[in-house]
A and B are shown apart, each in its own frame.
Chain A
Amino acid sequence: NAGVTQTPKFRVLKTGQSMTLLCAQDMNHEYMYWYRQDPGMGLRLIHYSVGEGTTAKGEVPDGYNVSRLKKQNFLLGLESAAPSQTSVYFCASNTGTGYFQPQHFGDGTRLSIL
């Protein structure tokens, strides 16, 4: 079972460049989340979606945009990359059927902005 798949796994960008990170899940989950992970700061929620066609801001949304045109995909965009966006990005999904349901994670995208 693939679960949650993130592409690409690694990327190096120059300041000002744009890119899109793709998250795909094959579990028919309703809810999807984008996090960034920085040393000593745990996981911080960037944006999330509670269903196809919906998106909402999380804790640190500035500089990012998202789209959920298909239920299985959740895209995270950086319009103009900045060095402060150097991080490891994780996508997660959840059935959306209860507070006891865990989130399922991809393996992450390691992004460096020079």
Chain B
Amino acid sequence: AQSVTQLGSHVSVSEGALVLLRCNYSSSVPPYLFWYVQYPNQGLQLLLKYTTGATLVKGINGFEAEFKKSETSFHLTKPSAHMSDAAEYFCAVSDPRDSNYQLIWGAGTKLIIKP
């Protein structure tokens, strides 16, 4: 069965520093990949997604992610963190073998921004 691993339940970075949130999936079939962001007391919003084509995907708020098939990874990055980036981030995959379009979710990484 497909699974998604997000390394680190909490990641702390200083304002202006590089943000790197890790996501690895387990599948022999390349999935469709998503990153969502959840601000406190809100629902989840789509940050970016990878379907096919260019492996470097740009999303909202300056975030981007790179699909690396050989490493089964889809890590999320942002060059310079802002206080407003403090939120929880979820990686999810959609398995092309599942006709119900279910998403398999990582456990989430809470991003903490230090002033």
Contact = CB atoms under 8 A, between A and B. Distances in A.
Interface of A: 4, 31, 33, 40-45, 48, 50, 56, 58, 90, 92, 94, 96, 98-108
Given A100-B51, A100-B94, 11 more contacts: A42-B108, A43-B105, A48-B102, A50-B100, A98-B101, A99-B101, A100-B49, A105-B36, A105-B44, A107-B42, A107-B43
Interface of B: 9, 31-32, 34, 36, 41-46, 49, 51-52, 90, 94-96, 100-103, 105-108
Contacts of B51: 99-100
Contacts of B46: 102, 104
A94 B49 CA distance: 14
Contacts of B42: 107-108
30 contacts: A31-B101, A40-B9, A40-B107, A41-B107, A42-B106, A42-B107, A43-B44, A43-B103, A43-B105, A48-B100, A48-B102, A56-B100, A90-B44, A94-B101, A98-B101, A99-B51, A99-B96, A100-B49, A101-B101, A102-B34, A102-B46, A102-B49, A103-B44, A103-B103, A104-B46, A105-B45, A107-B41, A107-B43, A108-B42, A108-B43
Contacts of A41: 107
B10 to A, nearest CB: 10
Contacts of A101: 101
A105 B88 CA distance: 15
A104 B49 CA distance: 13
A96 B99 CA distance: 9
Contact of B32 (A4, A90, A99): A99
B78 to A, nearest CB: 20
B105 A42 contact: yes
A106 B38 CA distance: 11
Contacts of A99: 31-32, 51, 94-96, 101
A88 B106 CA distance: 17
Contacts of A40: 9, 107-108
A108 B38 CA distance: 11
Contact of A105 (B43, B52, B107, B108): B43
